[in-house]
């Protein structure tokens, strides 16, 4: 039997999961991400793969999901939150160690691919995956294949900036302008993420609360929180509307902590039409089926056709 390994490379943990050709999980292991040296990082990934090979009695294919991307022309990793591997030729080095081809994609692309390959979603030819987590990221899948662009950067929607409608909604004279980790200001990463949801509530409502507490108060019909959520949904519509205009996806799937706010799936499609062209069709919006397993599952699927 052939096995497909997906490895989710995170800043604090690395997870390997092995799947069969139906993307059914057969094995998994999670270990801390080494912070001391690149050699220790390579050793950790290699050992995860070797242990999976030994357990399953086969050499599986190896796909990586990384929080950044591998530059297609230079082969250099741009993964700034994993300092020991940033700027390194990780695919080349792992391929030499493991004696097999290694493929990699941005973790949001892997998330989108995992959802697009689910039997329930294979009817949709263009899938836009959006992660509403610590940050706001995106992945693009066309006909079951990730689209990552010329150098591997496609889908970095979190680094688009607030548009005219968004700034008007937040208030020209009072809109909080956040500094993004990429070096720019007003990136969607700092507004549409779970973190942005909390920061906006703090700065517009004058109270520091967790996303869970904000959502709890919303369902309790607290007036100021209901109004805040209505504004946030409009902010999402004004921002995501641009993506829908540019990409015209069949389905948009949400992942990350804020994707568990079920109200969004009813409210957002209703808020979108004013931000779209007259003949545009609002796509299907769904919550991720595979949750936290999406990253490893999608990385494994990089070898499926």
pLDDT tens-digit series, residues 258-297: 999 999 999 999 999 999 999 999 999 999 998 877 889 9
Tell me which residue range forms the domain holding 70: 4-112+293-302
Asked, for residue 257, whether it belongs to a domain, the answer is yes
- The pLDDT assigned to 297 comes to 94
Residues 183 and 138 in one domain: yes
What predicted TM-score, i.e. pTM, was given to this entire model?
Answer: 0.89
State the DSSP string of 141-180. Answer: EETTEE--TTTS-TT-GGGSBP-HHHHHHH-TTT---PBP
Asked, for residue 118, whether it belongs to a domain, the answer is no
pLDDT tens-digit series, residues 50-88: 999 999 999 999 999 998 889 989 999 988 778 899 999
Residues 166 and 33 in one domain: no
Distance between CA 32 and CA 109 in Å, rounded? 23
Residues 203 and 62 in one domain: no
Asked, for residue 117, whether it belongs to a domain, the answer is no
- The pLDDT assigned to 182 comes to 83
Distance between CA 77 and CA 68 in Å, rounded? 8
- The pLDDT assigned to 199 comes to 98
Residues 70 and 218 in one domain: no
Distances 299 to 115, 136, 226, 235 between C-alpha atoms, Å: 12, 19, 38, 31
Residues 168 and 257 in one domain: yes
Number of residues in the chain:
305
Beta bridge partners of 136: 132
Residues 127 and 212 in one domain: yes
Asked if residue 128 has pLDDT above 80, the reply is yes
Count of structural domains within the chain: 2
Q: What is the CATH number of the domain that holds 51?
A: 3.30.420.40
Residues 267 and 164 in one domain: yes
pLDDT tens-digit series, residues 187-210: 999 999 999 999 999 999 999 999
Residues 163 and 99 in one domain: no
Residues 90 and 233 in one domain: no
- Quickly count: other Cβ atoms within 10 Å of residue 118's Cβ: 17
Asked, for residue 169, whether it belongs to a domain, the answer is yes
């Amino acid at each position: 039997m052939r096995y497909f390994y997906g490895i989710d490379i995170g800043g604090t943990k690395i997870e390997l999961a092995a799947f069969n050709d139906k993307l059914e999980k057969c094995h998994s292991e999670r270990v801390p991400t080494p912070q001391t040296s690149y050699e220790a990082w390579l050793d950790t990934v290699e050992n995860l793969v070797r242990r999976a090979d030994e357990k399953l009695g086969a050499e599986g294919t190896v796909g990586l999901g990384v929080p950044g991307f591998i530059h297609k022309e230079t082969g250099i990793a741009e993964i700034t939150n994993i300092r020991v591997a940033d700027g390194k030729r990780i695919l080349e080095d792992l391929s030499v160690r493991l004696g097999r081809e290694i493929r990699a994609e941005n973790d949001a692309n892997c998330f989108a691919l995992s959802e697009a390959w689910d039997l329930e979603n294979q009817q949709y030819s263009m899938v836009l995956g959006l992660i509403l987590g610590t940050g706001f990221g995106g992945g693009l899948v066309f006909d079951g294949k990730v689209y990552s662009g010329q150098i591997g950067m496609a889908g970095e929607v979190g680094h688009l900036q607030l548009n005219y409608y968004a700034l008007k909604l937040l208030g020209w004279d009072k809109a909080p302008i956040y500094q993004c980790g990429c070096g720019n200001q007003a990136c969607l990463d700092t507004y549409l993420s779970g973190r942005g949801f909390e920061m906006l509530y703090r700065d517009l409502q004058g109270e520091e609360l967790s996303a869970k507490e904000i959502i709890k108060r919303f369902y309790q019909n607290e007036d100021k929180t209901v109004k805040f959520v209505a504004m946030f949904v409009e902010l999402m519509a004004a921002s995501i509307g641009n993506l829908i205009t540019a990409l015209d996806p069949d389905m948009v799937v949400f992942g990350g902590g804020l994707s568990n706010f079920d109200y969004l799936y009813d409210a957002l499609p209703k808020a979108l039409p004013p931000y779209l062209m007259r003949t545009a069709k609002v796509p299907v919006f769904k919550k991720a089926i595979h949750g936290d397993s999406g990253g490893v599952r999608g990385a494994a699927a990089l070898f499926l056709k």
